[in-house]
């Protein structure tokens, strides 16, 4: 079945306590977890550790294209998120936090301030103007060596807009226009991620804690409106991307793509 479409499963009993519980409940179905894990890999089956991970893997398979390779670029508006997501990519063991090619670095250099790190993750270094995020995202997605993008920080501008709208000086003082601008920016960023992913046939995963902390935030809301999942953290986006990549590799190894 996995040769035709992705199959995501959750199996309990991966720990000693869980295995004992499984043996007492459905003993005939209990098996060595390492053997089961190996069988899943050989069959191209995606094994999720938790039900939540299974839901997110299934949603990712349903809405994102399969990556053509392991190379990932992280685009972030905050350095700390990029570091944590880099750790997740390294822990994945198959995905690669690629070094930026010289030509891509030179392109990005035209859009970000001189203080940006010239490294992956691509940290915007607080230098964003109206079109910086969509333009840099397209530069990254269009590069032939890049196979997937993780975009972090969606919703920050809308969150700032919310704080303004809840303040004592709103409405008035020209704040209505500023609030509307910031909200629209995050919608544009989400729409760009969706459009560029479809145009270049590459997965672009967006992640922000605001996906769960403020579900009405225009950024995550626009991702949902596109039919895609906005992940609650970079780690969860990387986990889902790892499942995409492993399934893509399984298909390539069988000559299915």
Specify whether 16 is located in the same domain as 85: no
Domain residue limits at 245: 66-253
pLDDT at 144: 98
- Non-local CB neighbours of 130 within 8 Å, separated by 6+ positions: 185
Q: Is residue 58 part of a domain?
A: no
Cβ(211)–Cβ(201) under 8 Å? no
Place of tokens 């209990």: 30
pLDDT at 19: 53
Q: Is residue 61 part of a domain?
A: no
Specify whether 43 is located in the same domain as 153: no
Tokens (6 digits) for 135: 């333009």
pLDDT at 42: 87
Cβ(161)–Cβ(214) under 8 Å? no
Specify whether 208 is located in the same domain as 109: yes
pLDDT at 12: 75
Q: Is residue 1 part of a domain?
A: no
Specify whether 44 is located in the same domain as 82: no
Tokens (6 digits) for 32: 């060595």
Specify whether 38 is located in the same domain as 113: no
Specify whether 151 is located in the same domain as 202: yes
Q: Is residue 189 part of a domain?
A: yes
pLDDT one-digit tens code per residue, 139-191 = 999 999 999 999 999 999 999 889 888 888 888 888 999 999 999 999 999 99
Helices 132-142, 175-200: inter-axial angle, 10-degree rounding: 10
238: three-class secondary structure by DSSP: helix
Q: Is residue 186 part of a domain?
A: yes
Helices 175-200, 218-225: inter-axial angle, 10-degree rounding: 30
Q: How many domains does the chain have?
A: 2
pLDDT one-digit tens code per residue, 46-56 = 999 999 999 99
pLDDT at 203: 99
Q: Is residue 54 part of a domain?
A: no
pLDDT at 27: 54
Which parts of the chain register pLDDT below 50? none
Beta strands in 127-182 (DSSP E): 148-152
Specify whether 91 is located in the same domain as 218: yes
């Amino acid at each position: 079945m996995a040769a035709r479409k992705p199959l995501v499963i959750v199996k309990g009993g991966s720990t000693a306590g869980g295995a004992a519980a499984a043996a007492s409940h459905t003993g005939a179905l209990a098996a060595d977890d390492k053997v089961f894990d190996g069988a899943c890999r050989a069959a191209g089956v995606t094994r999720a550790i938790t039900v939540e991970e299974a839901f997110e893997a299934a949603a990712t398979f349903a809405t994102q294209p399969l990556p053509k390779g392991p190379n990932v670029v992280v685009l972030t508006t905050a350095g700390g998120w990029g570091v944590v997501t880099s750790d997740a990519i390294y822990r994945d063991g198959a995905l690669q936090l690629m070094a930026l090619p010289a030509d891509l670095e030179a392109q990005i250099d035209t859009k970000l301030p001189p203080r940006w790190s010239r490294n992956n993750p691509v940290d915007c270094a607080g230098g964003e103007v109206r079109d910086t995020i969509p333009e840099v995202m397209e530069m990254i997605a269009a590069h032939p060596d890049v196979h997937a993008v993780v975009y972090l920080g969606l919703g920050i501008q809308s969150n700032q807009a919310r704080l303004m709208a809840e303040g004592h000086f709103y409405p008035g003082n020209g704040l209505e226009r500023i609030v509307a601008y910031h909200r629209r920016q995050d919608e544009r960023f989400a729409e760009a991620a969706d459009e560029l992913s479809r145009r270049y046939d590459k997965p672009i995963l967006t992640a922000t804690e605001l996906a769960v902390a403020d579900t009405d935030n225009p950024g995550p809301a626009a991702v949902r409106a596109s039919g895609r999942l906005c992940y609650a953290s970079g780690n969860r986006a990387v986990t889902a991307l790892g499942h995409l990549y492993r399934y893509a590799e399984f298909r390539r190894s069988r000559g299915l793509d």
